[in-house]
Amino acid sequence: MSLPYHPKQGTIVICDFKGFVSPEMVKRRPAVIVSPRLRKREGLCTIVPLSTTPPKVIEAYHYKLYIDPVLPEPYDAEFYWVKADMVYTVSLDRLSLPFFGKDQGKRSYDKRAISKDELFTIQQCILAGLGIIP
């Protein structure tokens, strides 16, 4: 189910990259919201994807993000690699919160955000991925 609101910066979401073309991200995967809600830009937010596949060479735009407790299945990895060289601005329709299942017939979602320090580190990785800083 798509999100009806812009999540706060640092929120972990699931993004459906269906319709993108490889070597872009092409499947559903966790991502971190990196943009604040911007007025007059309704329905869009900027994310960086997370991957369990380690980079061949760790660069300044990669960051190993530990998730404790782990996300619900099938995203229940102990850590993810932030791919900050692959920044996307996507429609909120592509995003959902990680889903636990149902509790007394009501859907239960995992609503969480990374720390401000981790978000700052990811922002620095984005700058490196864009070639703004070494």
CATH number for 37: 2.30.30.110
DSSP state of 121: H
DSSP state of 119: H
**Tens digit of pLDDT for each residue in 73-97?**
999 999 999 999 999 999 999 999 9
pLDDT value for 131: 95
Q: Which of 110, 113, 53 is nearest to 83 (CA)?
A: 53
Q: Is residue 40 part of a domain?
A: yes
pLDDT value for 66: 98
Phi and psi dihedrals of 36, rounded to 5? -75, 165
pLDDT value for 2: 81
Q: Is residue 29 part of a domain?
A: yes
Domain extent at residue 100: 12-129
Amino acid 52 reads T
Q: Is residue 18 part of a domain?
A: yes
Q: Is residue 5 part of a domain?
A: no
Q: How many CB atoms lie within 10 A of CB 102?
A: 9
Peptide bond into 23 cis (omega under 30): yes
Q: Is residue 2 part of a domain?
A: no
- Say how far apart CA 106 and CA 28 lie, in whole Å: 23
Low-confidence ranges of the chain (pLDDT < 70): 1
- CB-based contacts of 7: which residues, under 8 Å, 6+ apart? 13, 33, 45, 95
pLDDT value for 1: 62
Q: Is residue 4 part of a domain?
A: no
Domain count, the chain: 1
Q: Is residue 77 part of a domain?
A: yes
pTM of the model: 0.93
